[in-house]
Amino acid sequence: MTKGKLPSLPFKRIKEKIVGKDHEVSLVFISNSCSQTLNRERRSKDAPANILTFALSETLGEIFISPREAKKDATKFERTYREFLADLFIHGLFHLKGDAHGSRMKTHEADVRKKFHLE
């Protein structure tokens, strides 16, 4: 279980912009221990992750975000907590869409951040 209030973000509108209205996405905010367990079981990495994204089908996916890790990592990237949560969500959605890490993905992420004033 996570504690504390999460920043307000236009999650639904961002989701629809990136993957469309027909794509179903489950967004779950999880504890570090849950993140570490999922990361170990599904990716063989024994550490909590700030985000874990799993495509279940072409139009169904899950995004798990650890607010604690996100808050800690935001400062590493010189972002506010709100901005970094948005960054993670956007990043996860592009993975669900099938994009891989690289300059093209970074450009698309920046375009979405700009559109939603999350820079």
Alpha-carbon span 6 to 109, nearest angstrom? 21
pLDDT band at 10, cuts 50/70/90? very high
d(CA 29, CA 41): 18
pLDDT value at position 3? Answer: 66
| Average pLDDT of the residues of the chain | 95
For 27-57, what is each residue's pLDDT tens digit? 999 999 999 999 999 999 999 999 999 999 9
Share of the chain above pLDDT 90, in %: 92
CA–CA distance, 93 with 115 (Å, rounded to integer): 15
Helix (H) or strand (E) holding 32: helix 32-43
CA-wise closest residue to 56 among 96, 105, 16: 96
Domains of the chain, start order: 12-115 (3.40.390.30)
Beta-strand runs (E) in 46-85: 51-57, 60-65
